[in-house]
């Protein structure tokens, strides 16, 4: 899988792949990354990439030409182009699993007040928001989605079982979990976890997952 990032700030994105699981995925050849500053594609004499909104309104908008030309320069036959904006479809775990099967995803990160709609209409395969809040730019949104997608690529996580029991897999949040010490600041691990009866532990986890989901996501 290759992730290609079109952004005005490649330097704030690169470092995310320089440690831990995603660094190892790159070393193992499971993941490749490319960072492209779409300002380089601006035909403006001052390399401008933003203009006031047509018809008025606060803030500046990204002009379509540099983004379109940057996409054309990196696009391959099987590329899948994702634009980031708070006005997009909400990204979820199902999307992460589905997109983990793609060959190349091009993430286009917005800035300012976003994109000229014509470049989205013409070039986006999907348009995602990572939640109902507004970031200063789409870089974090692109990284959040990349991270969620990458851990669903076969071989990226050491223990594939961790993909089975986690939140959202059964339509529920994952149950609370515990580790040693058995007693911490007066609270003990639920005794069932220490007795080794796996059927009982599973039943307990299921009811805790249900309760937690009811509490946080009624
Ligand atoms: N850009 C700014 N805010 C965003 C969000 N919530 N999701 C995706 N892209 C964004």
Q: Is the CB of 136 under 6 A from ligand 1?
A: no
Pairing of the two strands 79-90 and 60-62: unpaired
What token pair was written down for 172?
């529920």
Over residues 159-183, the mean pLDDT reads 87
Q: Candidates 82, 83, 88, 139: which one to mutate for ligand 1, based on the most atoms within 8 Å of Cβ?
A: 88
Residue 131 Cβ contacting ligand 1 at under 6 Å? yes
Q: How confident is residue 167, by pLDDT bands cut at 50, 70 and 90?
A: confident
User: Each residue of 94-123: pLDDT tens digit?
Assistant: 999 999 999 999 999 999 899 999 999 999
Residue 163's pLDDT band (boundaries 50, 70, 90)?
confident
The verdict on the CB of residue 138 being under 6 Å from ligand 1 is yes
Q: Note the pLDDT of residue 169.
A: 77
Note the pLDDT tens digit of each residue in 9-47. Answer: 999 999 999 999 999 999 999 999 999 999 999 999 999
pLDDT band at 168 (very low <50, low <70, confident <90, very high): confident
Delimit the domains of the chain by residue range. Answer: 2-150, 164-216
> Coil, strand or helix: which one is 178?
coil
Band (pLDDT 50/70/90 cuts) for residue 62 is very high
Q: CATH topology for 2-150? A: Alpha/beta knot (3.40.1280)
Ligand 1 and 114: CB distance under 6 A: no
First vs last C-alpha separation in the chain = 37
Yes or no: say if 206 and 175 are a contact pair by the CB < 8 Å rule. Answer: yes
Q: Superfamily for 164-216? A: tRNA(m1g37)methyltransferase, domain 2 (1.10.1270.20)
Q: Quote the CA–CA distance of 61 and 37 in Å, as a whole number.
A: 17
> 46-60, 117-131, 163-177 — which is least confidently predicted?
163-177
Cα–Cα distance for residue pair 112/133, rounded to 1 Å: 15
Question: Percent of the chain having pLDDT more than 90?
Answer: 93
The residues near 92 (Cβ < 8 Å, ≥ 6 apart) are 168
Helix and strand tally (H, E) in the chain?
7, 9
Ligand 1 centroid, distance to 111 Cα (angstroms): 9
């Amino acid at each position: 899988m290759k992730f290609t990032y079109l952004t005005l700030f490649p330097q704030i994105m690169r470092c995310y792949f320089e440690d831990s699981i995603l660094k190892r995925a790159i070393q193992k050849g499971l993941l490749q990354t490319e960072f492209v500053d779409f300002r380089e594609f601006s035909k403006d004499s001052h390399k401008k990439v933003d203009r006031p909104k047509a018809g008025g309104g606060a803030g500046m908008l990204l002009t379509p030409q540099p983004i379109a030309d940057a996409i054309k320069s990196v696009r391959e036959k099987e590329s899948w182009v994702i634009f980031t904006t708070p006005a997009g479809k909400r990204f979820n775990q199902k999307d992460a699993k589905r997109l983990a099967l793609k060959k190349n995803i091009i993430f286009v990160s917005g800035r300012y007040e976003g994109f000229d709609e014509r470049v989205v209409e013409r070039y986006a395969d999907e348009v995602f928001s990572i939640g109902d809040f507004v970031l200063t730019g789409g870089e974090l949104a692109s990284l959040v989605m990349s991270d969620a997608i990458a851990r669903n690529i076969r071989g990226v996580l050491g223990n594939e079982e961790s993909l089975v029991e986690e939140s959202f897999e059964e339509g529920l949040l994952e149950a609370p979990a515990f580790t040693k010490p058995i007693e911490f600041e007066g609270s003990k691990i639920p005794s069932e976890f220490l007795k080794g009866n796996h059927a009982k532990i599973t039943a307990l986890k299921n009811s805790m997952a249900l309760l937690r989901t009811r509490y946080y996501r009624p």
